[in-house]
Amino acid sequence: MELLSDLFLAKAAFIGIVFAITLGVAAYSTYFERKIAAFMQDRIGPDRAGPFGILQPLADAVKMFMKEDFIPANSNKWLFIAGPCLSMLTALMTSAVVPFGDTVTIGGTTFDLQGIDVNIGILWVFGIVSLGVYGILIGGWASNNKYSLLGAIRAASQNISYELAMGLAIIAILLFTGSLSTKAIVEGQQNGHWNIFYQPLGFIIFLICAFAECNRTPFDLPECETELIGGYHTEYSSMKLGFYLFAEYINMFISGAVMATLYFGGYDYPGIDFVTAQFGNNVAVFVGMGALIGKSLLFVFVFMWVRWTLPRFRYDQLMGLGWAGLIPLSMYNVVVTAFGILIGKPFTAGVVGVILLIVGLFVHDQLFVKKKIA
Amino acid sequence: MKLSNRTKVMEQGEMTLAERMYLPAIVGGMATTLKHFFSKPVTIRYPEQKRYLGPIFRGQHILKKDENGAERCTACGLCAVACPAEAISMVAEERKPGEEKLYREEKYAKVYEVNMLRCIFCGLCEEACPKEAIFLRHDTMVPVFNSRDEVIYGKDKLVEKMDQRYLREGLK
């Protein structure tokens, strides 16, 4: 590709905009996290910096930068620095394959509102998310602190466990689409044929796994304060700690975008034809981009909502849920979906599958589980 | 022994299917937090907003004047004696002829000082006062001070201003 071609510039500008949106959302997630926590606890929350505390992220950033940047004496210095950088890098790279919108035509040139449309898009997401645990692992190991190391090990084993169920949940989606490209997955869901209607079970599995992959409550064992001080970022201070926290919020936003892409039709929204007819294609596409970001933000809210509702799992409960609960469930989901596609009625198969599952569990419960003695 | 008839016998047996799936409990918990999300906060923005603390709150001291604008305090020293924290000190002075408008009794306090660092706001001075001269206001708190020079409140800060009199219910 020529370095200064229109396409290159457009891609650069688009990636810049996506980065800006992602970072802005991540910065303001910290503020909304505290605000939502406050509202759920009947408090007011941060309101000192600017009107309604709207400048709080700025104040936090200044605080982070002004703090002493401490590197422990016996740590592995370069890995210690590389850890948060890697976390941040992988968090930002995931957004490359998320299709933020259809094509727009500006000045006679057609642009794709997507970083890269690789034909293995969803595998890219998986690869980068798997790499993301390296940032935590390296940081925890380089700290030379047993709490950090424990946190890092927990993060690693948790991510590996939940990736399996996540992958199996996605296989059901891929059965529908027949393509790994995220763009194709979204295009298969246009006009309200969102995958959530065909894959309710798959979506629940994916949502739970996304919580685990982002290290969010109730799966925030890698940084669980009550047991591990700060987990993998115990030894971190200043902006290196800020990077870890920032990466977590970016991951939340991006996983929201991925969930919207896979299950909620991506940039599809009700009335897209009307908007296209009234205001032209470009406006409709940009509204679609807004719709996708809105869906992602809704997921960010759900992440926070769950955080301030549920307590943390015990580690064996976490592993039990992952290996004994979600993986069999997602395998069942794959079978049901495949059967539904085979008979050509995926929607009916999805509903019947859920009903069968509940009935089966109930029957099993009646037959094999010891009852309370009244 | 039974203290009340409200004792509940708790039994922890095997969990039912719904309990083992956790999902109903999670949904219920999420509903609870969402309800609180939309409910009114119970906290307030404190320094800007203040709560009414009731008619008997013991705040900053005030030396009352009578309806003609004469100071009621006669420097008897009972408040200083009653004060458990020894926060009050005063210097008495005889009233000169022509000062009847200023001081109600024939003796008055030339200096009247309350050390706000010592004061424990117990209100015993208020109760000891035979002349109904000293009160702890229910509507004003002692403001935050940053240096020890501001701590001792003299008559300039304590005596009631006639243009903004302090009245509370039941007080003439």
Helix axes B23-38, A6-40, angle to 10 degrees: 90
**Yes or no: domain B61-158 corresponds to CATH 3.30.70.3270:** yes
- C-alpha B29/C-alpha A127 separation (Å) is 34
Contact criterion met (CB below 8 Å) for B70 and B107: no
Residue of B nearest to A44 (CA): B41
| pLDDT, one tens digit for every residue, chain A (374 residues) | 556 677 777 778 888 888 888 888 888 888 888 899 899 998 888 888 888 888 888 888 898 888 888 888 888 888 888 888 888 888 888 888 888 877 777 766 677 777 777 788 888 888 888 888 888 888 888 888 888 888 888 888 888 888 888 888 888 888 888 888 888 888 878 777 788 887 888 888 899 888 888 888 788 877 777 778 877 888 888 888 888 888 888 888 888 888 888 888 878 787 777 777 777 777 778 888 888 888 889 999 999 998 888 888 888 888 888 888 889 888 988 888 888 888 877 777 778 888 888 888 888 777 776 665 54
Nearest to A44 among B11, B38, B45 (CB): B45
**Where are any strands of DSSP class E within chain A?**
103-106, 109-112
Token digits of residue A307:
């955080």
Q: What is the pLDDT of residue A65?
A: 87
- Residue ranges of domains in chain B: 61-158
Side-chain half-sphere CA neighbours of A231 within 13 A: 20
Choose the mutation target among A310, A362, A373 for the interface with B, i.e. most B CBs under 10 Å.
A310
Number of domains in chain A: 1
Q: Is residue A95 in a domain?
A: yes
From the list B40, B69, B62, B72, the residue with the least C-alpha distance to B137 is: B62
Residue of B nearest to A360 (CA): B17
Q: What is the pLDDT of residue B1?
A: 61
Q: What is the pLDDT of residue B112?
A: 92
Residue of B nearest to A37 (CA): B37
| Average pLDDT per consecutive 10 residues, chain B (172 residues; last block may be shorter) | 75 70 85 89 85 84 88 90 92 88 88 92 91 87 87 89 76 48
How would you classify the pairing of strands B152-153 and B107-115?
antiparallel
- C-alpha B81/C-alpha B124 separation (Å) is 10
B30–A309 CB contact, under 8 Å = yes
Q: What is the pLDDT of residue B128?
A: 92
- The residues, any chain, with a CB within 8 Å of residue A40's CB and separated by 6 or more, are A305, A308, A309, B33, B36, B37
- The complex's ipTM works out to 0.74
- Its domain, for residue A231, covers 66-368
Q: What is the pLDDT of residue B172?
A: 45
Contact criterion met (CB below 8 Å) for A271 and A293: no
- pLDDT tens sequence across B16-62: 777 777 788 888 888 999 988 888 888 888 888 888 887 888 889 99
Residue A373: strand, helix, or coil: coil
- C-alpha A366/C-alpha A183 separation (Å) is 45
Helix axes A200-213, A146-177, angle to 10 degrees: 160
Contacts of A373 in chain B (CB under 8 A): 13
Nearest to B26 among A310, A362, A370 (CB): A310
| Secondary structure letter of residue A323 according to DSSP | I
Q: Supply the DSSP string of A143-207, one letter for each residue.
A: TT-HHHHHHHHHHHHHHHHHHHHHHHHHHHHHHHH----HHHHHHTTTTT--HHHH-HHHHHHHH
- C-alpha A137/C-alpha A49 separation (Å) is 35
